[in-house]
Amino acid sequence: MRVVLLGKPGSGKGTQARRIAKAKGIPQISTGDLIRAAIAAGSPLGLQFQEYADKGLLVPDDLVLALIEERLKQDDSTHGFLLDGFPRTIPQAEALAQWLIKAGMPLDAVLNMQVPDSALIERAEGRRFCGHCGSSFHVKFAPSKEDGVCDNCGHELKQRADDRADVVMNRVGVYKEKTAPLLDFYRSRQLLRDIDGLGTPQEVGDRIEVALKRNPGP
């Protein structure tokens, strides 16, 4: 199964991406994770990425395309994948379509996580992650047992630099300008499935399960 997950920052993409990838036995490929890993490694490319990511701006298409093309060549992607945070612009979507046509691996579905703007700041600002094992929490919706400490491995929980309210607002603006046009791009290709993203991760996950079984609408 080859799936793309679209949604504004704070719409629950990452949480659902992990659930779907686990349930379907496919890799979750997140350009945000790849970019954060390059930043953490301190490579010259990582330093370039940081300039954009810290401000909530998109990394230029050519750099992201080079990164994702490398990742899609890995063996674990041949039997399917879930793309989380990619594509985010029309040129990225067009490049992906070209690769997949060439490889004879069309997309099965594009999920559009719908969450009203009013819910995004609270969701994004409360997010915490463990830099050691990657577990994620939310101070209100999925708190760790001990404040600031990972339930899984006991390391300190951190907040992403771009989850501050002002940066989240920038990211939502960038989404509306650059990423929202992908909804029509995929709707016109009969791939888009709208998902109500409000509710518990289980409730949203159940809606996704149903949507993935359904034929796409007109």
Active site residues: 13, 88, 127, 160, 171
Give 73 or 214: the residue with its C-beta nearer to ligand AMP: 73
d(CA 61, CA 199): 33
Q: Where are the alpha helices (DSSP H) in the chain?
A: 13-24, 31-41, 44-53, 61-72, 90-103, 117-125, 165-174, 181-187, 201-213
Smallest separation (angstroms) from ligand AMP to the CB of 141: 18
Asked if 85 and 30 count as a contact pair (C-beta separation under 8 A), the reply is yes
Q: Which two tokens stand for residue 179?
A: 């990423």
Cβ count within 10 A of residue 202: 8
Q: Which residue is nearest to ligand AMP (CB)?
A: 32
* Minimum distance of ligand AMP from residue 16's CB (angstroms): 13
Rank residues 86 and 137 by Cβ distance to ligand AMP and give the closer one: 86
Provide, rounded to whole angstroms, the least separation between the CB of residue 57 and ligand AMP: 6
- Whichever of 87 and 197 has its CB closer to ligand AMP, that residue is 87
Which residues bind to ligand AMP, rule: CB under 6 A?
Answer: 9, 31-32, 35, 52-53, 56-59, 64, 85-88, 92, 162, 171
